[in-house]
Amino acid sequence: MSAMLRALWHSRGFVLGSVQREFQSKYRNTMLGAAWTVLNPLAMILVYTLIFSQVMQSRLPGDVSQYGYSIYLCAGVLTWGLFAEITSRAQNMFLEQANLLKKISFPRICLPVIVVLNALVNFGIIFGLFTVFLIASGQFPGAVFLLLLPLLLLQVALAIGLGLVLGILNVFFRDVGQFFQIFIQFWFWFTPIVYPATILPAELRPLLAWNPMAAVIQGYQTILLSARAPDWASLLPAAVLAVLLCALGMKLFRARAGEMVDEL
């Protein structure tokens, strides 16, 4: 592990350059350029806020705040978007970079790091705008906002651990990627993002304990909507799963790195 970290540090220029190139390539040949990084998420936040709080008058059970449901929805959708982007990009990272892997010698561990950094850049922009909205609307939760950091770290570890396992398997079994694209859609709707868990039938609610992202998303919603610390005990299964997936991903990566290049 220490050798891998040293190799990653020596390749930091390659990693940061790759992140910068991908960010710039998104808006190349557009008139507004990088302004789209602000306009797209800003439009989404405004739509959620105006449609659900003003037009549909949506309210959460027990919450009388005008923006309560909008904050609940954004807290779930934005953070789920980060999870989905990391896992979806990671499952294809070795296939997409096949030519690079075959022609250039560099630490292969750079690829999942690049995926995570690219996703965090995108997430940082849109969540930064959401934070501005919270402050402007008087809904900023205060110092408890800092508790988002360990929650974010847990989510990223869970996402990249799963993504790394899927990415390696997808090299040898291409159906893995196709299956996961379908599976993650069901996963989204089984996670309390657009609805509160209380509306589920009583017999289905215990099943949420088997959904690691349910506790993570509810942690974000608790911090941002209720200005309270999340239930850390409920996050323990997700933390254990994140560690196991990262360990499994690294084990598969070390064992199959050479075979992957041949397979590609």
DSSP labels, 178-231:
HHHHHHHHHHHHTSSSSS-GGGS-TTTGGGGGG-HHHHHHHHHHHHHHH-S---
Q: How high is the pLDDT of residue 240?
A: 96
Helix (H, G, I), strand (E, B) or coil at 106: coil
120 close to 128: Cβ distance less than 8 angstroms:
no
State the DSSP H helix or E strand holding residue 242, giving kind and residue range, or none if neither. Answer: helix 232-263
Going by the DSSP 8-state scheme, the letter that residue 56 receives in this structure is S
Polymer length in residues for the chain: 264
pLDDT tens-digit map of 208-242 = 889 999 999 999 999 998 899 999 999 999 999 99
**How far is the first Cα of the chain from the last one, in angstroms, to the nearest whole number?**
25
**What rounded mean pLDDT belongs to the chain?**
83
Per-residue confidence band for 200, with pLDDT thresholds at 50, 70 and 90: confident
The pLDDT confidence band at residue 141, using thresholds 50, 70 and 90, is: very high
Tokens standing for residue 4:
């891998």
